[in-house]
């Protein structure tokens, strides 16, 4: 029987165990949005005490146009690399691997934060941002953002990260393209098929792979289901994950869609297992499940029951680096 303490391969990368600290924003960036000593100390403590095999750092924006909130860390310029090198060094010294999560907020970004008007797949208000109506992206803009993601992934590699995670969840830009709630396009990126709704993702995956090479792991955090009428469904999620695997993704990280990291009416450990179980049955690459897990025992049970290959523990680690010892059952 598979155990939480068992090692696992992500592409060509070996992890010591299957416990993961998923991305959670700290808003501790410096004035220039670089990683500060405070950010490094936060991650060093969690690498040392939280018993995880992998840390996925908080989402870093690939261009200021996609900056989600004040205090968010940037990976948009080469000037950010030295700060990230300090960050990866302090995590690696504790024997833990680390991925960078890279993102663009799309229509969730506000002009008062970015200095630019918001953009998205369609001229549709974001469900959590009704202040500004986004402009519909042109195909040229889609290709431009694709390049930004690839450049960000290269910076992550140059900074010493062990892999990169593409953020397509919680209502950010790529999730907006995946969700029929936000994507009303009728072109090749439009909502009438999962194939088209993941076209942007595939182009980013290929651009990153061409930039970083075959050995650098690529993860996809997918907001697989909107849990709302007219939104993306679990069947959509399974189809998308098959597509991502076929196009070179090494790890699938399942979570919520346009409504964020919650599943309405659910708070039990592993509350996204309604997605992770069918996805795990449909693909051969590892599946990471987060949501509602607060103890080692809960994580062990989810692994033993075959709900996922890896388990993420978010808020418990965010609150307490010593969570594993303090919640031992």
pLDDT, tens digit, 9 for 90 and up, residues 106-147:
999 999 999 999 999 999 999 888 889 999 999 999 999 999
CATH fit for domain 25-39+58-83+103-286, picks 3.50.50.100, 1.20.1260.10, 3.30.70.2660, 3.20.20.70: 3.20.20.70
pLDDT over 70 at 329, yes or no = no
- pLDDT band per the 50, 70, 90 thresholds, residue 328: low
Q: What is the rounded CA–CA span in Å between residue 205 and residue 57?
A: 19
pLDDT over 90 at 56, yes or no = yes
Cβ–Cβ < 8 Å for 54, 18: no
Once rounded to an integer, what is the mean pLDDT over residues 92-99?
Answer: 98
Mean pLDDT of the chain: 96
CA distances from 270 to 126, 279, 306 (A): 27, 14, 12
Once rounded to an integer, what is the mean pLDDT over residues 271-284?
Answer: 98
pLDDT of residue 106: 97
List strand residue ranges (DSSP E) for the chain, in order.
8-10, 13-15, 19-21, 54-61, 97-103, 119-120, 135-136, 163-168, 218-225, 251-256, 287-290, 310-312
Helices (H), 76-193: 81-92, 111-114, 139-158, 173-178
pLDDT, tens digit, 9 for 90 and up, residues 214-252:
999 999 999 999 999 999 999 999 999 999 999 999 999
pLDDT over 80 at 193, yes or no = yes
Residues with a known catalytic role: 172
pLDDT of residue 259: 83
Q: What is the rounded CA–CA span in Å between residue 63 and residue 127?
A: 22
Once rounded to an integer, what is the mean pLDDT over residues 278-296?
Answer: 97
Cβ–Cβ < 8 Å for 262, 294: no
CA distances from 74 to 84, 151, 205, 212 (A): 10, 12, 20, 19
Query: Does pTM top 0.75 for this prediction?
Result: yes
Once rounded to an integer, what is the mean pLDDT over residues 144-167?
Answer: 98
pLDDT over 90 at 192, yes or no = yes
pLDDT of residue 200: 98
Query: For residue 267, how many C-alpha atoms fall within 13 Å in the half-sphere facing its CB?
Result: 1
Q: What is the rounded CA–CA span in Å between residue 271 and residue 44?
A: 28
């Amino acid at each position: 029987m598979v155990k939480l303490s068992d090692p696992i391969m992500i592409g060509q990368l070996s992890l010591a165990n299957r416990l993961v600290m998923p991305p959670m924003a700290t808003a501790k960036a410096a004035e220039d949005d670089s990683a500060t000593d405070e950010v490094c100390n936060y991650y060093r403590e969690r690498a040392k005490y939280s018993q995880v095999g992998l840390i996925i750092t908080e989402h870093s924006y690939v261009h200021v146009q996609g900056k989600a909130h004040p205090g968010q860390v940037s990976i948009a310029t080469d000037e950010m690399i030295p700060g990230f090198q300090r960050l990866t060094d302090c995590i690696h010294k504790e024997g833990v691997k680390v991925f960078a999560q890279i993102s663009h907020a799309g229509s969730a970004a506000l002009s008062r934060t970015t200095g630019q008007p918001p953009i998205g797949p369609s001229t549709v208000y974001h469900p959590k941002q009704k202040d500004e109506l986004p402009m519909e992206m042109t195909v040229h803009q889609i290709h431009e953002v694709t390049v930004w993601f690839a450049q960000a992934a290269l910076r992550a590699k140059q900074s010493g990260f062990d892999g990169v995670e593409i953020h397509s969840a919680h209502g950010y830009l790529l999730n907006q393209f995946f969700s029929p709630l936000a994507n009303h396009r009728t072109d090749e990126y439009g909502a009438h098929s999962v194939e088209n709704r993941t076209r942007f993702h595939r182009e980013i995956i290929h651009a990153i792979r061409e930039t970083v090479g075959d050995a650098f792991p690529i993860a996809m955090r997918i907001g697989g289901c909107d849990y709302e009428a007219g939104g993306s469904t679990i069947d959509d999620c399974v189809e998308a994950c098959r597509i991502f695997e076929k196009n070179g993704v090494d790890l699938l990280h399942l979570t919520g869609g346009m409504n964020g990291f919650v599943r309405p009416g659910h708070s039990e450990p592993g509350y996204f297992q309604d997605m992770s179980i069918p996805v795990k049955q449909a693909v051969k690459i590892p599946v990471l499940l987060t949501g509602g897990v607060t103890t080692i025992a809960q994580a062990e049970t989810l692994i033993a029951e075959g709900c996922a290959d890896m388990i993420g523990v978010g808020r418990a680690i965010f609150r307490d680096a010593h969570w594993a010892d303090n919640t031992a059952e």
